[in-house]
Amino acid sequence: MSVLSGKKILLGITAGIAAYKSANLVRLFIKLGAEVKVIMTPASKDFITPLTLSTLSKNPVHSQFYDTENENELWNNHVELGLWADYFLIAPATANTLSKMSNGTCDNLVLATYLSAKCPVYFAPAMDLDMYKHPSTKENLEKLQHFGNIIIPATSGELASGLFGEGRMAEPEDIVSFIENDILSKLPLRGKKVLITAGPTYEAIDPVRFIGNHSSGKMGFEIAKTAANLGAEVFLISGPSQEQIKHSLIHRIDVVSADEMYKAAHQFFPEVQMAILAAAVADYKAKNVSNQKIKKKDATLSIELEPTKDILASLGANKENQFLVGFALETENEIENAKSKLQRKNLDMIVLNSLQDKGAGFATNTNKITIIDKDLNEKIFELKSKEAVSIDILNEIILKLDA
């Protein structure tokens, strides 16, 4: 999955012949799972039609502050467009537009949105050779980068004038690749490897029955997704779960029992920088597993149980430089029990859930957590979606790693 999947991309098109390439840009962004909205300068419509771009983006295309054909139409809010976007790309960015951007001129919707944007702004220059080399253009390019905008350098090639040289807008595939690589290079977990466990474990009694719990794996899967979106390579060890995940940086390892999860966790733990154990691992398993289905004969059935291997404690005992995070699901004396677990198992952080909190626990889309660090500092969070909770957990870990 691309780092652009699920992102909101605003594409600003200005009046250069390279505007014809913008159709392919929209198509590539959509293919990667991004949502795209397009705004145009009025003159850019001479090079490519709004109909083409709205069809490809599946969103209306705007080029004016309001629709002149409908006096009752609301204005196209440039501030709202700028706040909507996760990334703003201006391609092609003509010499005229670059000059206006660097000097704060605001005479069309693209420029007004640029001045309102709070997100990273990328621009891909496109003009003829002599225009690109002109001192005023070079000054504008330097000024825009000084403002924090990100240039996607022009390439050399045949230009519309018939000349051959620098000034040609980068090809759409190269623009998309440039943006992806730029985003990845700035992600806080870029280059890190993370081990995450999720879901329940099933401990067999016979070929049909097992001891299990109600864990869905939602929390662990959300943490895995967030870690990958922050640039980490993730080893997700999951017990039986209906949750699905697809990301180029996530390696899913499916297991069933606590013993299988123990072996997988110890296999990957030496090569990771952090481990987050969110799985609800069974504490006990049947001492003797029947080879045949146990028939119902008596009014009662006794099964002798023995403890499973403690994955979290064993990793805590073997950790070197890894940052180790555990979870505690409690029903009473929550804080005291969580702190005890943190210290006994040599953790760097523990995430506490309480089944007493409405909206927290198994098989819900929300969670309410308290994070306790190794110095026993507590941080309480409100009830949030599990996606938002995963962001809180990773942000806390990043703060600790950077401290």
Q: Residue 140 and residue 123: Cα distance in Å, rounded?
A: 12
Residue with tokens 């599946």: 58
Catalytic residue numbers, as ranges: 213
Paired tokens of 349: 């952080």
Are 149 and 122 contacting, i.e. CB atoms less than 8 angstroms apart?
yes
Euclidean distance between CA atoms 127 and 168, whole angstroms:
6
Relative orientation angle of helices 95-103 and 135-146, to the nearest 10 degrees: 50
CB 38 within 8 A of CB 53: yes
Edge-to-edge strands, sheet with 233-238:
250-254, 233-238, 193-198, 274-277, 323-330, 349-354, 369-373, 378-380
In DSSP terms, 35 is beta-bridged to: 8
Q: Which residues contact 293 (CB under 8 A, 6 or more apart)?
A: 206, 207, 208, 209
